[in-house]
DNA sequence: GAATTGATTGACCTATACGTCAGATAGTGA
DNA sequence: TCACTATCTGACGTATAGGTCAATCAATTC
């Protein structure tokens, strides 16, 4: 509670500090409200994810500032959630996407092992989805045929 | 609180009432504990699903008795859960599997419409899984290549 | 007929994933 | 300078998906 706990601002009506040109299509920094709207979630949710250690935005005067990497990370989180992963799983998951470029041998082996497991998991899930899709198509067809006879 | 709230039994050590032959491989009726073990869940979970109106087993002396249809229904529930659906979604979902054989026209049309939505949903989900799988394979390959150079 | 086993309901507890205030702060426009 | 807006940090509330007793009851076994 000493240097950065008061909050501030990063984007609203007319910004002049971190966004000199108003409508530059390919931007590098984002405010929390921007991301929230873009992804259709609330700022509370984004802060909650930070609390769960899923994203780590920079701070400017206490306000969160997100880079393109942070934004991509958020997109990954939401996609994983849509697939049906819990936040705890996603946290584990995101480690695989992290810096494995200059990793130790043990770190590389870890990623190979864990990504293998994740791949198996997802393939199981996809198989179940395919089964379900097959059944739904069959049910649908039955109904359509039945309707045709009326 | 008058005719069927005391509980009873349906299967345990040696049953003589609803299962004359001990080890008949293709059985028709099941107790709650059997199903729980078969699917790797607890009896509490099964009762919870009943409370949520997902399954409706018959009662014999207060004890739940499950038919093959009930068992299949439970399998559907668990598969849907593994895919990432909530119980509320699953409840809606199960209606599609229900009796649409002798349905009214409006009922048939309902199933056609809803199954269409469900199919789209699942296809979106599968696409996301495929994207994720692609990325994971790429990450894994990078790591493996990197390890080979050591 | 008492003990054992497995089933029943109900009440309460837990973890996850947020939503909803409340109070404070910081930058901008009038 | 004052109002306005966006943001911040808690604190508390809520819905979902169950787990964990506790008391009870019923059929079988000893």
- Long-range CB contacts for residues A8-15, cutoff 8 Å, separation at least 24: A8/A60, A8/A61, A8/A62, A8/A63, A9/A61, A9/A63, A10/A60, A10/A63, A10/A64, A10/A65
- Say if B23 is an interface residue toward chain A (CB within 8 Å): no
Closest CA to A80 of A68, A94, A67: A94
* Residue numbers in A 16-45, CB below 7 Å of strand C: 16-17, 41-42, 44-45
Considering the domain architecture, whether residues A2 and A50 belong to the same structural domain is answered as yes
As a whole number of angstroms, the distance between CA B79 and CA B75 comes to 6
Q: What is the 3-state secondary structure (H, E, C) of chain B?
A: CCCCCCCCCCCCCCCCCCCCCCCCCCCCCECHHHHHHHHCCCHHHHHHHHHCCCCCCEEECCEEEECHHHHHHHHHHHHHHHHCCCHHHHHHHHHHHCCCCCCCHHHHHHHHHHHHHHHHHHHHHHHHHHHHHHHHHHHHHHHHHHHHCC
The answer to the question of residue B51 being in a domain is yes
Task: Specify the number of domains making up chain A.
Answer: 2
CATH of the domain at B30: 1.10.1660.10
pLDDT score for B33: 97
- Say if B119 is an interface residue toward chain A (CB within 8 Å): yes
Considering the domain architecture, whether residues A4 and A29 belong to the same structural domain is answered as yes
Return the sign of the alpha-carbon dihedral for residues B56, B61, B63, B68.
negative
Average pLDDT over residues B98-123: 89
pLDDT score for A22: 46
Q: What is the DSSP string of A9-75?
A: -S-SS---SS-SSTT-SS-SEE-HHHHHHHHT--HHHHHHHHHTTS---EEETTEEEEEHHHHHHHH
Indicate if the pLDDT at residue B82 is higher than 70.
yes
Q: Is the CB of B17 under 7 A from strand D?
A: yes
Query: pLDDT: is A66 or B12 the higher one?
Result: A66
- Say yes or no for a CB contact (<8 Å) between A139 and B108: no
Q: What is the mean pLDDT of chain B?
A: 85
pLDDT score for A27: 87
List all residues 6 or more positions away from B21 whose beta carbon is below 8 Å from its beta carbon. none
Structure tokens at A55: 């994203």
A147 pLDDT tier (thresholds 50, 70, 90): very high
Q: Give the residue on B whose Cα is nearest the Cα of A122.
A: B129
Considering the domain architecture, whether residues B61 and B21 belong to the same structural domain is answered as yes
As a whole number of angstroms, the distance between CA A72 and CA A135 comes to 35
Nucleotides, chain C, CB distance < 7 Å: 5-9, 16-21, 24-29
The answer to the question of residue A103 being in a domain is no
The answer to the question of residue B21 being in a domain is yes
3-state secondary structure at position A149: coil
The answer to the question of residue B130 being in a domain is yes
The answer to the question of residue A104 being in a domain is no
Q: What is the pLDDT of residues A97-144, one digit of tens each?
A: 887 766 789 999 999 999 999 999 999 999 999 999 999 999 999 999
Average pLDDT over residues A61-84: 97
Indicate if the pLDDT at residue B74 is higher than 90.
yes
List all residues 6 or more positions away from B17 whose beta carbon is below 8 Å from its beta carbon. none
Considering the domain architecture, whether residues A65 and A124 belong to the same structural domain is answered as no
Considering the domain architecture, whether residues B85 and B137 belong to the same structural domain is answered as no
The answer to the question of residue A69 being in a domain is yes
Q: What is the mean pLDDT of chain A?
A: 85
Indicate if the pLDDT at residue B14 is higher than 70.
no
Domain that holds residue A10: 1-97
Q: Which nucleotide C1' is nearest A12 CA?
A: D6
């Amino acid at each position: 509670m000493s240097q950065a706990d008061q909050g501030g601002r990063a984007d609203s009506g007319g910004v002049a500090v971190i966004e000199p040109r108003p409508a530059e299509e390919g931007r590098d920094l984002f405010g929390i409200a921007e991301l929230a709207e873009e992804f259709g979630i609330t700022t509370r949710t984004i802060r909650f994810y930070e609390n769960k250690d899923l994203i780590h935005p920079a701070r400017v005067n206490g306000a969160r500032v997100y880079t393109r990497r942070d934004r991509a990370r958020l997109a990954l989180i939401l996609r994983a959630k849509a697939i049906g992963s819990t936040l705890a799983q996603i946290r584990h998951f995101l480690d695989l996407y992290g810096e494995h470029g200059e990793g130790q041998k043990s770190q590389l082996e870890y990623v190979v092992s864990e990504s293998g497991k994740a791949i198996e998991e997802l393939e199981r899930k996809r198989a179940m989805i395919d089964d379900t899709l097959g059944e739904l198509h069959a049910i649908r067809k039955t109904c359509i045929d039945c309707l045709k006879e009326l």
